[in-house]
Structure 1
Amino acid sequence: MTTSFNAPGPASEPGPASEPGPARPGRKLGPIAATVGSSHRAWLEPTRDHYLASGRTLSDLSTSIPLAKSKLSELLRGVGHYPRWEVIHRLAAELHIPSWPLYRLWRQAALDAGKSREWVHRSSDGAIALATESRAPLEHGALRSIVEDGYRRYAEVFLHGEVLDAVVEDTFAILWLTFYDALASPDIRRYAWNILRATVHAKADHRDQRPVLGDAAFDTVALRAQTCPEGQAAQMAESLELFTAISKLPPAQLDVTVLRRVCGFPHAKISDLLGIPLAAVRSDERHAKRFLDDTIELPPQTGGPTP
């Protein structure tokens, strides 16, 4: 499961990288290969956006980066061998891409592609120190401080362990790479949530092309309210049935239902996390409840916060 996000402009010239660059001679860059996975695509798409917005040509870049024009084309389409960081770092410098979030996403994609940690270390070749000097925009840090806990709570419904930690970090790395587009979007919170949602669902287990919520049964609001083993067992069965039904909801209704019924957030908090009006949250909840009522015998919401 993949999604597309536009990348930011150069740090010295804030602005969305989606703005068209000058016309360039030569053959048009081909699309990203269909075989490219979601973690590889997470850094490749913003990198391509920077290239397309720069107005530079592959021939021009090949004079500064130790790759032939054909190999640069393959790199930007996700074709061939997974690239070493030293090459990506040089490309980032030429295209004014913040290197630390790019390195974070490149490393995760390398591990997902089966590269060893030793290979990752060797291919970095000392460039990591330069990458870590990058600093996120102040607005990025401010937004992260507000939404990170909610993002983690949502991700915990679908993921656990190292994958959970990686997905949350990757979300903020992608947001950093595309931050000027986020600022130019109608609502930065909605833009950021779309990144989180796509990143979480790309890593979640799926059944019938729908994300599996089963692990969340161990920490629901309703289950925590049960004190005896018999009550917990009964609530567990109800929760598993409920989560199967929730997974069939449309995306917006699924998000609101997970945040409301599983995470226990009030309506106002959900509105802030999703970047949508309070009325839209309540409307999605009503439609979701109607579907769930028609699908299963819905247990009452217990112990959660008031709206």
Structure 2
Amino acid sequence: MTTPFEPPAPPPARRTLTRPGRKLGPIAEETSSAHRAWLEPLRDAYLDSGLTLSCLSDRVRLAKSKISELLRGTGLYPRWEILFSLSRELNMPYWPLYQLWRQAAFEAHKSREWIERCTEKTVLTATHAAPPLDHRAFRELVESHYSLYAQVFLEDDVRDAAVSDTFDILWLRWEEALASADTRRFAWNVLRATVMAKTPHVDGRPEFGWSAFDTVALQALTAESDRADQMAESIGLFKAMSRLPDHQLDVMVLRSLCGIPPEDVAALLGVPPATVQSDERHAVHFLESVICPPETEGNTA
């Protein structure tokens, strides 16, 4: 990353729309993160549309109760043709919606045959579903760094899926991203949530993947004994890092494990460089206090 991303001028703020009838209930707590990845943008599109469930029901020829279930993540996992019809009525790009729906279908233990049957009645062509130009420019600018961050926590195939899902979610929510206080910060929050949803956690804190051991310090060592010592040191470091606040953890991962310069970290996170420096300083102070605590009077020889 040579220059920070300058987000386009945000569109006008959205109006708060009111609609007659019963208020849509919240998403069910048991809904998986993969399911939420496409469901939340779909709900937002519905809520912003001003349409009622009755009106939407008439347009897509589906019972109002079924649409309500779908928008709350309850009932059976929906077939693609239903989402395709809803996406057209809600003016949503169907390609990223399909990609996220398909990924969640696999995680819901739907077979490949079931997924293929669901798409028989719809025409899906990626060539006619290009994302906005500024979205593509943003992706080209940050994708390699997003992959470096994701690889610290995830295996290669899961990492690639997490990064791909991130840009699909951003495509669906691009207008919202542009309308946010900072597009870069909005996008980073989407990446982080997507990566952490796929990362194993222990006691609520993320575990580092094996790729996190592929650090500059480890690569510089040749002797097996030195590498073993460094590996043990790295395990202790990673355990301590997992206890950092989220923003400090991200800064340390990007700076220490990915080797990204501080000004580029600031551009990725959408925060001032001084914030990155402060987060790094506080994180290092915490890690030093945990890994190398000062000797107390009773422990001195």
TM score, norm. by length of structure 2? 0.90
The change in CA–CA distance for 1:200 and 1:31 in structure 2 (over 3 A counts) is: same
Q: Which amino acid aligns with 1:99?
A: Y
Paired position in structure 2 for 1:75: 70
Paired position in structure 1 for 2:5: none
Q: Which amino acid aligns with 1:256?
A: V
Displacement of 1:130 in angstroms is 4.7
Match of 1:33 among 28, 33, 36: 28
The change in CA–CA distance for 1:15 and 1:44 in structure 2 (over 3 A counts) is: farther
1:179 counterpart = 2:174: yes
Displacement of 1:65 in angstroms is 1.4
C-alpha separation in 2, matches of 1:131 and 1:45: 22
8 Å contact from structure 1 (residues 214, 243) kept in 2:
no
8 Å contact from structure 2 (residues 20, 52) kept in 1:
yes
Displacement of 1:291 in angstroms is 0.4
Q: Deviations over 1:100-152 (max 9, x none)?
A: 11111111111111111221111122425256521111110111011000000
SS at match of 1:29: coil
Paired position in structure 2 for 1:95: 90
Q: Which amino acid aligns with 1:20?
A: T
1:226 counterpart = 2:244: no
1:116 counterpart = 2:107: no
Displacement of 1:17 in angstroms is 8.6
The structure 1 segments of at least 4 consecutive aligned residues displaced by more than 6 Å after TM superposition are none
C-alpha separation in 1, matches of 2:72 and 2:127: 26
1:253 counterpart = 2:248: yes
Displacement of 1:277 in angstroms is 0.9
Displacement of 1:18 in angstroms is 5.3
TM score, norm. by length of structure 1? 0.89
Q: 1:282-293 alignment to 2 at 5 Å?
A: 282-293=277-288
Paired position in structure 2 for 1:304: none
Q: Structure 2, unaligned stretches of length 5 or more? A: 1-9, 294-301
8 Å contact from structure 1 (residues 99, 134) kept in 2:
yes
Paired position in structure 2 for 1:64: 59
C-alpha separation in 2, matches of 1:216 and 1:134: 34
Q: Which amino acid aligns with 2:282?
A: H
Match of 2:184 among 189, 212, 217: 189
8 Å contact from structure 1 (residues 66, 87) kept in 2:
no
Paired position in structure 2 for 1:19: 15
C-alpha separation in 1, matches of 2:14 and 2:215: 41
Q: Which protein is bigger by CA-based radius of gyration?
A: 2
Q: Which amino acid aligns with 1:289?
A: V
8 Å contact from structure 1 (residues 217, 236) kept in 2:
no
State the identity as a percent. 58
1:169 counterpart = 2:161: no
Query: How much is the aligned-residue C-alpha RMSD, in angstroms?
Result: 1.7
Match of 2:259 among 264, 273, 283: 264
